[in-house]
């Protein structure tokens, strides 16, 4: 079976692999994948050597995972990149990782959550789903993602009602998804669960787009205002692991 997995990196300090899927059902112009198809935490020399070597077969992927468990003591796998849920093999991938006693974190826009995937996540004791909320404004959502927001919100409720562990993520984009918008997202999430968690990431600007990186003051303000309703976090303040290794494709 062929997957849509095109790139895997390993974060030594976190004992965590980042598995990136190729392709997305959204067209967000601020997506960091427009800067590079590779993990942007790799150093510049490593990035310059990487070349696309095709999408992995299931057997090839599982061999890389098994090798990382043995060699590095890997404990966690993060499924992300562009959009994992467009890969029909995703439920099998999650089950195989769970069977190896690995923690699984799925990063998704939640637009497509089919019944098989929902059932797989419901049965996975060590799975967590991180849902990216682009905006709550229906007009902005369809303009920038190319898709309506209603399926996303419906799938959020399906996941929560099924008992799946869910946290949320959004990007602070001055002039598009700004401090007021993020406060509204937090207020909405609080109506879904008293224990909602929202990760707020500052925009990394993409050349050719009109949006700038938010200031630290703007990020702090967004976190403070959202924190009135939900628990907030930011990758900006979590720091970065000291070493990132490419597992696939190997640099040439």
Q: What is the pLDDT of residue 97?
A: 98
Per domain, the residue ranges of the chain are 5-248
Contact (Cβ atoms closer than 8 angstroms) between residue 17 and residue 68 = yes
- CA-based R_g, the chain, Å: 18
| pLDDT per position as a tens digit, 168-202 | 999 999 999 999 999 999 999 999 998 999 999 99
| pLDDT < 50: residue spans in the chain | none
Q: What is the pLDDT of residue 152?
A: 98
Q: What is the pLDDT of residue 239?
A: 53
CATH homologous superfamily of domain 5-248? Aldolase class I (3.20.20.70)
Closest CA to 221 of 179, 187, 184: 179
Q: What is the pLDDT of residue 208?
A: 94
Give the whole-angstrom CA distance, residue 67 versus residue 85. Answer: 25
Give the whole-angstrom CA distance, residue 56 versus residue 227. Answer: 41
Q: What is the pLDDT of residue 250?
A: 84
Q: What is the pLDDT of residue 252?
A: 67
Q: What is the pLDDT of residue 33?
A: 93
The 3-state secondary structure of 164-211, one letter per residue: CEEEEEEEEECCCECHHHHHHHHHHHHHHCCCCEEEEEECCCCCCCCC
Q: What is the pLDDT of residue 107?
A: 98
List the structure tokens of 85: 């849920």
């Amino acid at each position: 079976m062929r997957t849509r997995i095109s790139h895997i990196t390993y974060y030594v300090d976190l004992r965590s692999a980042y598995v990136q899927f190729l392709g997305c059902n959204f067209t967000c112009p601020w997506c960091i994948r427009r800067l590079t198809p590779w993990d942007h935490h790799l150093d510049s020399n490593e990035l310059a050597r990487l070349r696309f070597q095709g999408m992995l077969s299931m057997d090839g992927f599982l061999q890389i995972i098994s090798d990382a468990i043995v060699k590095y003591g890997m404990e966690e796998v993060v499924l992300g990149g562009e959009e994992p849920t467009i890969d029909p093999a995703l439920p099998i991938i999650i089950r195989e990782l769970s069977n190896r006693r690995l923690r699984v974190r799925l990063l998704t826009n939640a637009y497509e959550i089919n019944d098989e995937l929902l059932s797989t996540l419901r049965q996975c004791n060590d799975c967590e789903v991180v849902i990216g909320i682009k905006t709550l404004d229906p007009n902005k959502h369809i303009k920038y993602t190319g898709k309506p927001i209603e399926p996303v919100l419906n799938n959020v409720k399906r996941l929560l009602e099924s008992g799946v562990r869910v946290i949320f993520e959004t990007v602070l984009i001055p002039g598009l998804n700004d401090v007021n918008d993020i406060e509204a997202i937090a207020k909405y999430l609080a109506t879904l669960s008293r224990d909602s968690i929202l990760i707020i990431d500052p925009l990394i600007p993409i050349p050719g787009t009109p949006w700038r990186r938010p200031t630290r003051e703007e990020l702090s303000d967004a976190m403070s205002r959202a924190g009135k309703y939900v628990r907030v976090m930011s990758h900006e303040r979590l720091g970065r692991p000291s070493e990132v290794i490419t597992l696939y494709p190997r640099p040439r």
